[in-house]
Structure 1
Amino acid sequence: MSILVTGFDAGHDQVNASAVLTASLRDDLPQPLYPLRSQLHFAILPLSASDLREAVLVQIAVCQPRFCVFTGQARGRNKVHLERLATNLRDFDSPDVAGSQSRGERIEPDGPAAYWSTLPGQEAMIEQLNRQGIPAALSNHAGNHLCNQLLYQVLHWAQQNGSGMACGLVHIPPLPIQVRHQWPETPFMLLEMSRAALAQILLVLVQQTGASAS
């Protein structure tokens, strides 16, 4: 059993909360995740619409995951959100690192309008996080930028290839340093809370599916 956890590169910004979180888990795994350390694989993906699909498929080929847990930062949100849906739409309100700013374009020309997340146990994950004092909720909209594109493209690939791999997206608030230097009015979450949230999500995932943690 293998789990791929990803974040996004900072791109033109100095910090991306999802990259910081992913690197932090990779380099300093929380103690509750020690039983899973040989099954966890971490990757930072490019903020590039044209390069994203190939970059994540390379990681999938390397570790052959049973689950993909993608993370992305969500400016303006004050909770950890698990996304229910990925839509077949690029409508960027800001350009990617290559300067591309798609407006109203399909991600996959012949793909369906949307895919449901296939990550199991999301309701149980939300309940567990809130019980532990971590604000969390389900979300019906992953945005129309690269987080949504990533989830849609991987779900589409899994559908087209008959893969049993399950995928989901976790949106986290920005970090305090981003509020100080970039977005003074936006909500934020401390890195330690984001780390605890991802650890619990991964633990519930394993428990809900009966996957081995050894």
Structure 2
Amino acid sequence: MKVLITAFDPFGKEQTNPALEAVKQLPETIGEHTITKLEIPTVFKESVEVIKQQLNTEIYDAVLAIGQAGGRFEITPERVGINVDDARIPDNQGNQPIDEVIQEDGAPAYFTNMPVKRLTQAIKEAGVPASLSNTAGTFVCNHVLYNLGYLHATSFPHIQFGFIHVPFIPEQVINKPNTPSMALDTIVKGLEAAITALSTDNHDETIALGETH
């Protein structure tokens, strides 16, 4: 498969983004897959436009976005992107709306068509902590995952799409007491395992990975 892997640039007060650093270290070939890497801005709409331009340039079998989820202990493949952004764009009165619709003509949500249970198990079998996540948040990560689903539904029906969150790396938590982190080489190992598990057969495992909280 020809797989496009995207990763965000640093955002907020962070000087680095573990997603981008990990993707930079991925090999050009993983298993039977040829990898193309793409850095995207952590900016609403612009991030999706960069991906869309790349998808219009070459034909890919899959696109997998990687993002940072500070505070998580594990690598977490995402199950769904929802049609809402926490864009916080002030209105004319300076009020801060919390919810902004991503696509007026889009579905309420788009579920990834990647075998996320298989990916999660592959990461675990590589000796890396992982769990299946049911929330990609309401920031640019969710924005990208949702729009990948929208692009699949409207323009690229052949493509598999998905999103994986990774934790902070140790240097990011020096001044963040009690905040979890994961070594960069461990993140790279987990991502390689997940990507290796991709295939043209996207039928997922029939295993229970639900949470009670």
Distance 1:102 1:108 in 2: 17
> Unpaired runs of 5+ in structure 2?
90-95, 204-213
Structure 1 counterpart of 2:53: 58
> Counterpart of 2:172 in structure 1: which amino acid?
Q
Structure 2 counterpart of 1:132: 126
> Counterpart of 2:177 in structure 1: which amino acid?
P
User: Structure 1 residue 45: deviation in Å?
Assistant: 0.3
**Deviating 4+ runs (over 4 angstroms):** 207-210
Distance 2:73 2:182 in 1: 7
Structure 1 counterpart of 2:80: 85
Distance 1:126 1:172 in 2: 12
Equivalent of 2:107, from 104, 107, 112?
112
Distance 1:166 1:102 in 2: 33
Q: Secondary structure at the match of 2:158?
A: coil
CA contact (8 A) 2:80 2:136 kept: yes
Q: Secondary structure at the match of 2:173?
A: helix
Distance 1:177 1:102 in 2: 34
Structure 1 counterpart of 2:25: 24
Equivalence map 1:26-175=2 (5 Å):
29=27, 33=30, 36=33, 39-92=34-87, 103-119=98-114, 121-161=115-155, 163-175=157-169
Structure 2 counterpart of 1:98: none
Question: CA 1:9–1:179 in structure 2 vs 1: closer, same or farther (change >3 Å)?
Answer: same
Identical columns (%): 27
Instruction: Output the aligned Cα RMSD.
Output: 2.3
Structure 2 counterpart of 1:6: 6
Distance 2:74 2:51 in 1: 26
Question: CA 1:195–1:154 in structure 2 vs 1: closer, same or farther (change >3 Å)?
Answer: same
User: Structure 1 residue 59: deviation in Å?
Assistant: 1.6
List per-residue Cα deviations over 1:17-39 (Å, max 9, x = no partner). Answer: 111111122xxx28x82653xx2
TM-score by length of 1: 0.83
CA contact (8 A) 2:85 2:143 kept: yes
List per-residue Cα deviations over 1:41-76 (Å, max 9, x = no partner). Answer: 001100111311211111212232111111001011
User: Structure 1 residue 16: deviation in Å?
Assistant: 0.8
Q: Secondary structure at the match of 2:65?
A: strand
List per-residue Cα deviations over 1:108-142 (Å, max 9, x = no partner). Answer: 122111010111x2212222222232111111111
> Counterpart of 2:5 in structure 1: which amino acid?
V
After TM superposition, the structure 1 stretch with the greater mean CA deviation from structure 2, 52-61 or 77-86, is 52-61
> Counterpart of 1:161 in structure 2: which amino acid?
S
Higher helix share: 1
> Counterpart of 1:153 in structure 2: which amino acid?
N
Distance 1:204 1:9 in 2: 26
TM-score by length of 2: 0.84
Structure 1 counterpart of 2:195: 202
> Counterpart of 2:157 in structure 1: which amino acid?
S
> Counterpart of 2:150 in structure 1: which amino acid?
H
Structure 1 counterpart of 2:93: none
> Unpaired runs of 5+ in structure 1?
95-100
CA contact (8 A) 1:41 1:63 kept: no
Aligned residues: 196
CA contact (8 A) 1:68 1:167 kept: yes
